[in-house]
Amino acid sequence: MTNEHIPFLDLVTVHRELQDELVEVLTTTLKNAGFIGGPMVQGFEKDFERFCEARFCVGLASGTDALRFALIAIGVKSGDIVVTVPNTFIATTEAISQAGARPDFVDIDPRTYTMDPGKLREYIEHTCKWNAKTRQVIHNATGKPVTAVVPVHLYGQMADMDPILDLATQYNLKVVEDACQAQGAEYFSQKDNRWHRAGSMGHAAAFSFYPGKNLGACGEAGAMTTNDEQLAQTCRLLRDHGQSKKYFHDIEGYNGRLDAIQAGFLRVKLRHLEKWNEQRREAAERYDKLFAGAERLVTTPHQPSWARSVYHLYVVQVEDRARLQQKLSDVGIGTGIHYPVALHLTKAYEGLGFKTGDFSVAEKAAAHILSLPMFPGLTVDQQRRVVTEVLKSHSITTTVS
Ligand SMILES: *Cc1c(COP(=O)(O)O)cnc(C)c1O
């Protein structure tokens, strides 16, 4: 066991291995100068909708655009309330605000870190009223309609979609999956007794291809998926200034296109995604085994029987997170915190009027979570060293064999 540096994420090796194919994409595009739209973008969209088992995919400039356009396309309007969870990347709530709505939160399940469907029901039935005539959920304190829910498939594991979708049907709510961390994740639905892929269950879904995601571009990129042709069409308009044809603008839109070079890169990398996700699952299983017996010191990720995670992150909880993170850093092991501040307490949302204790499960998680090194190609030896150092930091002298 050496003392080599173990990065939190290794993005260098995979691109070195794929360099020839990626450079080929670049030379082809330079030759025909088709930088925006065209066959590379359409080709990627076809490949990705097949991968997600969704009917339509619209390539976009980022995951944030995907969330924003999906929310606008499903009909979220200025003055609406859209409900999500507090433990997500701020892009989720930025998109809600930028669609004109006000973000509100329900707490998470302490074991999966994803939206607690019981809390969502409580929110709808106790802090809101159902107006049967307009078929709207009206928020008591503000009188505003709650129109959509954004469950976040956090760390590569899908939220508990069956009860969330049931509530959405019962209360006429739209569901946009934030699948930015979950390319290829699966959920077992009791309703039709089969597995479903992230991006195929809600009215629409958003994916990010930020370089560090399970499927990452070599720059910025994203996509929305849906089974609804009309929603896909609206997102195609929104990404391109509302143009149905050059300089004929049906609506006012945005500049949110996926560029051809990134689409080409993504097509090359998508061919490896199943294998990479499998490698992440194997690495997660190895961590689980190495941590077995240390449950009192380290809480490992929980995968319910209905979830097949793609382990975008391997997140543990420990009592003294600051000390552990420092110790690991001292011995050359990279870690991350996703995320250190629950969004209802972040400075940007001071104006929403939340306080400490409002979402105690998310707050407690934020104080104790630590993301350990996780990427395809992480070796058994590297993982043994990570686990040894984690347990050592808790003054346990045994090394992991
Ligand atoms: C990465 C991420 C986003 C935003 O994606 P960008 O491509 O960076 O805009 C949104 N939500 C979650 C949960 C993410 O992890």
- Give the pLDDT confidence of 290-345 residue by residue, as tens digits: 999 999 999 999 999 999 999 999 999 999 999 999 999 999 999 999 999 999 99
Mean pLDDT of 45-70: 98
Among 291, 292, 285, which Cα is nearest to 309's?
285
Work out which ligand 1 atom sits closest to the CA atom of 208.
7
- Give the pLDDT confidence of 112-130 residue by residue, as tens digits: 999 999 999 999 999 999 9
Q: Do domains 13-270 and 274-393 have the same CATH topology?
A: no
Torsion angle defined by CA atoms of residues 32, 36, 39 and 45, in that order, rounded to the nearest 10 degrees:
150
Q: What is the Cα–Cα distance from 237 to 245, expressed in whole angstroms?
A: 10
Q: Is pLDDT above 50 for 397? A: no
pTM of the model: 0.97
Mean pLDDT of 140-155: 98
Question: How far away, in angstroms, is 31 Cα from ligand 1 center?
Answer: 32
Mean pLDDT of 141-162: 98
Q: What is the predicted pLDDT for the residue at 399? A: 47
Among 62, 110, 8, which Cα is nearest to 362's?
110
Confidence of residue 30 (pLDDT cuts 50, 70, 90): very high
Q: Is pLDDT above 90 for 4? A: no
Instruction: Give the chain's mean pLDDT.
Output: 96
Confidence of residue 2 (pLDDT cuts 50, 70, 90): low
Q: What is the predicted pLDDT for the residue at 238? A: 98
Cβ < 6 A, ligand 1 pocket? 62-64, 88-89, 91-92, 152, 178, 180-181, 208, 210, 222
Q: Is the CB of residue 154 less than 8 Å from the CB of residue 314? A: no
Question: How far away, in angstroms, is 186 Cα from ligand 1 center?
Answer: 19
How far does the chain reach from its first CA to its final CA, in angstroms? Answer: 11
Please name the fold of domain 274-393: Aspartate Aminotransferase, domain 1 (3.90.1150)
- Give the pLDDT confidence of 199-258 residue by residue, as tens digits: 999 999 999 999 999 999 999 999 999 999 999 999 999 999 999 999 999 999 999 999
User: DSSP letter string over 45-78?
Assistant: HHHHHHHHT-SEEEEES-HHHHHHHHHHHTT--T
Question: How far away, in angstroms, is 367 Cα from ligand 1 center?
Answer: 21
Pocket test for ligand 1, best of 64, 207, 310 (most atoms within 8 A of CB): 64
Work out which ligand 1 atom sits closest to the CA atom of 221.
7
Question: How far away, in angstroms, is 268 Cα from ligand 1 center?
Answer: 21
Question: How far away, in angstroms, is 212 Cα from ligand 1 center?
Answer: 10
Q: What percent of the chain has pLDDT over 90?
A: 97
Q: What is the Cα–Cα distance from 138 to 124, expressed in whole angstroms?
A: 9
Pairing type for strands 186-189 and 194-197 reads antiparallel
Confidence of residue 395 (pLDDT cuts 50, 70, 90): low
Q: Is the CB of residue 228 less than 8 Å from the CB of residue 51? A: no
Classify domain 13-270 by CATH architecture.
Answer: 3-Layer(aba) Sandwich (3.40)
Give residue limits of the domains in the chain. 13-270, 274-393
Q: Is pLDDT above 80 for 1? A: no
